[in-house]
Each structure stands twice: as C-alpha cells, then as structure tokens.
Amino acid sequence: MTDRKRVFSGIQPTGNIHLGNYMGALRNWVKLQDEYDAIYCVVDLHAITVPYDPSELAQSRLATAKALLAIGVDPSRSLLYYQSQVPQHAELAWLLGVDTPLGALNRMTQFKEKSEKAGQKLGLYAYPVLMAADILVHRAHAVPVGNDQTQHLELARDIAVRFNGKFGETFPVPEQITPRVGARVMSLQDPTAKMSKSDPDDSSRILVFDEPDTIVKKLKRAVTDSGSEVAYDPVNKPGISNLLEILSLFTDRSIDDLVNEHNAMQYGRFKQLVADAVVEGLTRIRTNYKTLEDGEVGRLMTKGALDARMRAEEQMVEVRRLVGLGSGTIS
C-alpha cells in the first residue's frame, strides 16, 4: 500500500453513462489516478434501492465497468470493483447506521425525490449511510462527484466526525472534489433541470456512447434561450450557458475566451460547433469500448473485488474492535 492520499468514488450501474456523469465526475476519476491512490466502485447495492430488473443487473454492471475502462480508469493504477462483492461495505453501513439520526436522513432531497416514485423504503432511506460506508471503509480523503452529491457527502462527513468523536480518530473527513466546469450539467430539453439517467426523454441527454449523428441531432434540438447572443449567464440564459460549459470542457478553453470569440455567432452554428467538439472528444472512448472483451473485464472485476476485500477488511478489523465487537475473527 502507498502513502499517497486515497480517493474513492462510485457510480450506479443503471442506465447509460451520460455527459453529466462524464463532465461532473468521471473525467476527474481519470485525472486523479496520477495523484492519488484511486479506488472506484460500481455501486450495485445502491442501484437496487429503486425498482429494477434482476435479469438485467449483471449485464448493466458489466457495461458500466467497461464504460469506466473505456473512459480511462486504468486498472494498473486504480482499484475497480463491484460494491456487492466486497461485503465490508454493507457491514460498515450497519455499524454507522446504528448511530445516524433520522433527522439527518429526513433532510436528504434525493430521498424525497426518489421515494415519490419508488415508495418510502428502508434501502432508499439508508442509501446515504451506505454511501458514507463506501467512502469510509477505504478511509478515503477525497471524493470526486458532481454537485448533486454534495448533501450526501456532507452527511458522510458528519458520520465520520461523529464516529471519530466517539471512538477516537479513525476516519479522515472526506473532501468533495468537483470540477470547475461541468459540476452540474443540465438537461438539453430543460436547462433548469440536471441531465439525468432517469429522464424519460432520451433527447435530454447525450450518452457517452451515442453515435456521432445522434449527438449532432440532440445538440441541434437543444433548447436555447430567447435573444441571440452567445453569453454566459446560467440564470437568464441557462441553455446557452450549459452549451458553453460543454464546449469549454471539450475544447479545454475558458468560458470567457469562448464567449469573446463566439458572442455574435448564430445559435444554430454555435450548436454545430459544440456538437463537433463533443463528437471528437467522445470518439476515443467509443473506440476503446469496442476493444474490451467481456470475459477479460469480468476477471478484472473479480481481482479488483478480492484486492478491495483485503483492504477493506484491514479497516474493519479496527472498526469492529473500536465498537466492541472484537476483531471479527473467530478463533
């Protein structure tokens, strides 16, 4: 094990990876591998907190793992695995849950939103505690996520602080890492709502694996704002501002620069420009995906889980001892 700081993050294996996931989180996952001891997880236990089809889970989990590899998660530098194959996550979630006040869980806006559709279930309610356990079981220092996870991460920090206060310094209090541009990518059809996997309207999001002509079509149809100026103003011009963020990320140029250059450009041409940049940026990922072989990725995920179990178990031995359950090893 290295002395480097650890970074942990997770993604649910439901639906396809979209531009919000990529810009808000996954690009950082890839970048941070150089600097941190990186641990990434396909969070299948989180995915089953809303209605799902069990016969599809194995396939969507594999597809998500492959997408992460195609985007640039590099198993020679990062640990990558399926959450359910490392039982220490669920065990720590229980130990943390026994001391998590209901008041904190009642404030979670994602619970309120999701339970409207999925019903008020314990799994959905306890979701943020499992997320805290994911992070803390690896004693992660930092967590790259989009802005929609800020509230969950604050709860994870509170849980870490509470545990440390009660049992002594055990967990680092994890910091959130969000990108400067793209922390909240908006829907192409309603730029006041975030781009999301669960939006029934396919044209609201660009998938990382969309074909070039689909990307062009979706961007051409993107809802823009009244007026005709390409300007950055997320409140009054949310549509164009969202497109500017996308262009900035894919061209690696500042929003100011782009506004200066394209200020007078017609919306139609501007959208084409954004589409060209996105198509070019995503081509490498699409090509990588095709080279990945299911069996090989499956083996890689098994190896990842075995390594992650060993690392998580080291931490759990300490946690069990602290809470009075011994080491957990029966002799």
312 counts as binding ligand AMP under rule CB under 6 A:
no
| Residue from 6, 7, 8, 25 binding ligand AMP (CB under 6 A) | 25
65 binds ligand AMP (CB under 6 A): no
Min CB(80)–ligand TRP separation in Å: 14
194 labelled catalytic: yes
Measured over the CA atoms of residue 52, residue 23, residue 155 and residue 140, the dihedral's sign is positive
Binding at 312: pick from ligand AMP, ligand TRP, none (beta carbon under 5-8 Å per type): none
Under the criterion CB under 6 A, does residue 21 sit at the interface with ligand AMP? yes
Backbone angles phi, psi at 169, to 5 degrees: -55, 110
Check residue 185 for interaction with ligand AMP (CB under 6 A).
Answer: yes
Within 10 angstroms of residue 2's Cβ, the number of other Cβ atoms is 7
Scan for tokens 């314990």, then name that residue: 122
Task: Check 121, 197, 220, 303 and give the catalytic one.
Answer: 197
From the list ligand TRP, ligand AMP, none, partner contacted by residue 143 (C-beta under 5 to 8 A by kind) = ligand TRP
The CB density around residue 236, as the number of other CB atoms within 10 Å, is 11
Pick one of ligand TRP, ligand AMP, none as the site partner of residue 184 (Cβ within 5 to 8 A by kind).
ligand AMP
- Render 18-68 in DSSP notation, one character per residue: BHHHIIIIIHHHHHHTTTSEEEEEE-HHHHTTS---HHHHHHHHHHHHHHH
- By the criterion CB under 6 A, which residues form the site for ligand TRP? 8-10, 12, 43, 46, 131, 134-135, 143, 145, 149, 152
Whose tokens are 């996105």? That residue is 278
Closest CB to ligand TRP among 60 and 149?
A: 149
Q: Which of residues 195-224 bind ligand AMP (CB under 6 A)?
A: 195-197
**Binder to ligand AMP among 30, 86, 108, 145 (CB under 6 A)?**
145
Residue 60 vs residues 53, 55, 165, 192: alpha-carbon distances, Å: 10, 10, 40, 29
Cβ proximity to ligand TRP: between 160 and 279 the closer is 160
In the complex, minimum distance from the CB of residue 230 to ligand AMP, in angstroms, rounded to a whole number = 21
User: Is 20 near ligand AMP (CB under 6 A)?
Assistant: yes
Q: Which of 6, 8, 24, 91 binds ligand AMP (CB under 6 A)?
A: 24
For residues 237 and 321, what is the distance between their CA atoms, to the nearest angstrom?
55
End-to-end C-alpha distance for the chain, whole angstroms? 27
DSSP track, 255-287: HHHHHHHHTT--HHHHHHHHHHHHHHHHHHHHH
Q: Which of 7, 11, 259, 308 binds ligand AMP (CB under 6 A)?
A: 11
CB of 176 to ligand TRP, least distance (A): 9
Q: What is the DSSP string of 88-108?
A: HHHHHHHHHHTT--HHHHHT-
Partner in contact with 21, chosen from ligand AMP, ligand TRP, none, beta carbon below 5 to 8 Å by kind:
ligand AMP
Residues in the chain: 331
294-299, Cβ contacts within 8 angstroms, sequence gap of 24 or more: 294/62, 294/66, 297/62, 297/65, 297/66, 297/69, 298/62
Residues in touch with ligand AMP (CB under 6 A): 11-12, 20-21, 23-25, 145-146, 148-149, 183-185, 194-197
Active site residues: 114, 194, 197
